[in-house]
Structure 1
């Protein structure tokens, strides 16, 4: 009698759901850090003076700097300890980041507030005067503040005239941002491979990645509204109380702790490396023009994406006299455009990556110019629709024809995330010097470079020719 054994394929539905939740969490945390800029400016930078915007955008610099600094370290850890341990470590680091955010708020209330209470009281007294003329007269009594107005004549804020003084809590907040970026460096390196490996009947790896990508984009869309309306209850300016983040952050810590507990109790699929890494390649990976220029293009793309998504709130508040919650709504519109664009992009399989990038970059460039000429922030919101296809299109073009160099090149391209650290803080410094509206020229330059790459830079100067082995 012959025995037959039915070997059923493992169903990783529960691990897949956890990975989708983690991708959504990654989108939320990335966006939360960006949207913390305006509340942090209001709470900590009352004495920021002429450097206020530069100091504010340093928050994103700290966050994305982690991708450049910690990327190689996270890669070595994953190679040595595996994906599951790396995933749990990343989540543990994220809990630490949350704790540091709360420590910053506590430190300000406990130690810094006495040093800034006089300036805060004076600023509140000035704003209570009502009319611009009355506020200017009140400010002139001490000369500590000057009144800022938009072109419309509406009040936009106060600028400290004394020496720049920063609270200890500000530096702790930047540390928290760097630690959060470190956590996401680990998480992004392991979650995507798990999405492919967590086989669920009736789905493909690409479908599972698309599902998780939708969750990620949804949370980046809701993030600005969550910060403005839930964490800070629609308050802005001197009304902001940074301790409002205690309860939401504690809830996020509990959520992450529950995920960690679940991960220790379930089986995750094994993920094997694609190559041994021992093969000696004849040329430098940098000899491929499509890769080296592609890295620069991703640097500009991530930079301009964060510039618009994060700094549109500061632009709306400081130049257009809009309330913080309306600025947050503009950011939500922008990220919503990315969500819609990614959904539409899934139906553009017959359109080449080069064509998609060319059209998207040209449209984005036109929209930036229109936003600057008309001073209408809604043109900036519309850019999200076209930014949605830039990352996958550029990534595809940069790896075109690399053959055996593909794995190494993929890791190099992730260095482009540093653009999200550098360009927003440069724009903040420009805003301090020439105003937010003109500072969007930096984004226009970035879009122009992306267009250049689509037109010419992506053309391979050479491709990898596999070695043909002959019998001895």
Structure 2
């Protein structure tokens, strides 16, 4: 049997010595990453209605933005996991910053050429860099401290991610949607000024490079696995894919991200419906702030609650709350329909960090690989909204909202049953000790 896992940050008895230290500076540095990629991701909710109007796209075609952005997670997450395993967490994050900055700068020529395809290509490059950041930063935060508080720790850093998603709609509406020109059927893309997206993404690219430079000068703890002979023998023929709770967590991330993005990406269009609020795009865009702001509040509160209550049970409760709120919105009109849908953001708040930490629990040396698999599942943010858009084109936005309900039903099940730790084809294993040096 493997030796007991020592508490990280303590000085355990036995052959493994983990130095005592404060990880606050490291966590503070990594938290800035969560803020920035939250801001970038939420700008898609502004970009979709803007480019939909500019290029006169259907809901399905407009959701190609989500397909390219979140599709990068599907294609790049496993390679990113290998890069992180080879370069380490810090170098992996630095490389992610560089790639994301290139993608942000590509928005300038895409706007200059007024080509929808180039916008999609720029988004893919940008998302590839963010994927690498996610693969490196999420498990780093989960590992950097006591394992029993991993969900609370990742939830707290995700709260700053939500701060970015809260601010993005306000700035995006002011800088982008407010400059949406009046269009008619005779207008062509070649005659449209799409420069409104150039400056914001140039600033984002510059910010990515600045934060990368700052991070490169901060001494972050280096995480290495301390070998344990008994554990190594037991785990010699295993891989991350053999952990049942991890693989079910992959589907959990897929369902959660798909539901969250599908709702967030269509709030502007939903609030524009006469039966809801009949708002213009700029006014509706500012309301997205309440959706992501509720998630931010929930995550700050969750950082406390997850230290007091079972993360799995809180996950299931939040999923039930999301289902109830979406159903209320579907069956009501006016302010009730609007605020009930925006309140779903509060229910979303704990889902990603809780699913992630429940899924990587006990993976030990397979943590980087597991993180890559989980980030691959973020492709749900590409596929679910695409299906959502197709349903909306044929049956309307209200009926399309039943798709997120199905996603939240799975998240509820994962919290109640799927997150229980069992290793497929092998006895349950205890993760090997982790040293921070």
Q: TM-score, normalised by structure 2?
A: 0.78
- Alpha carbons of structure 1 residues 366 and 177: separation in structure 2 relative to 1, 3 Å: same
Deviations 1:184-238 (A, max 9, x none): 0122233456668999xxxx99997666433221111111111111334364663
Q: CA RMSD in A?
A: 3.4
Contact 1:18 1:259 in 2 (8 A): no
The residue that corresponds to 2:318 in the other structure is 360
The Cα shift of 1:428 comes to 0.8
The Cα shift of 1:322 comes to 1.8
Of stretches 55-64 and 343-352 in structure 1, the one that deviates more from structure 2 is 343-352
The residue that corresponds to 2:283 in the other structure is 326
The Cα shift of 1:93 comes to 1.5
Deviations 1:224-268 (A, max 9, x none): 11111133436466398421122222222332333344455x253
The residue that corresponds to 2:272 in the other structure is 317
2:117 to 161, 164, 171: 171
Contact 2:325 2:341 in 1 (8 A): yes
| In 2, Cα distance between equivalents of 1:186 and 1:218 | 21
Of stretches 291-300 and 332-341 in structure 1, the one that deviates more from structure 2 is 291-300
The Cα shift of 1:182 comes to 0.3
- Alpha carbons of structure 1 residues 81 and 456: separation in structure 2 relative to 1, 3 Å: closer
1:383 paired to 2:374: no
2:94 to 71, 85, 88: 88
Contact 1:403 1:465 in 2 (8 A): no
2:327 to 369, 375, 390: 369
Deviations 1:72-111 (A, max 9, x none): 2222223333444433322222221122212111001xxx
**Mapping of 1:160-309 within 5 angstroms?**
169-192=115-138, 212-233=157-178, 235=180, 238=183, 241-263=193-215, 266-274=217-225, 280-282=235-237, 285-286=240-241, 288-309=243-264
| In 2, Cα distance between equivalents of 1:83 and 1:457 | 28
Contact 1:234 1:324 in 2 (8 A): no
The Cα shift of 1:9 comes to 9.5
Of stretches 442-451 and 170-179 in structure 1, the one that deviates more from structure 2 is 442-451
Aligned residue-pair number: 390
| In 2, Cα distance between equivalents of 1:15 and 1:461 | 32
The residue that corresponds to 2:48 in the other structure is 37
Gapped regions of structure 2 (runs ≥ 5): 1-18, 185-191, 431-437
- Alpha carbons of structure 1 residues 207 and 412: separation in structure 2 relative to 1, 3 Å: closer
- Alpha carbons of structure 1 residues 290 and 248: separation in structure 2 relative to 1, 3 Å: closer
The Cα shift of 1:351 comes to 1.6
**Mapping of 1:374-413 within 5 angstroms?**
374-375=332-333, 376-399=337-360, 408-413=369-374
Structure number with the bigger relative contact order (C-alpha 8 A, sep ≥ 6) is 2
Of stretches 245-254 and 424-433 in structure 1, the one that deviates more from structure 2 is 245-254
| In 1, Cα distance between equivalents of 2:78 and 2:339 | 38
- Alpha carbons of structure 1 residues 406 and 83: separation in structure 2 relative to 1, 3 Å: closer
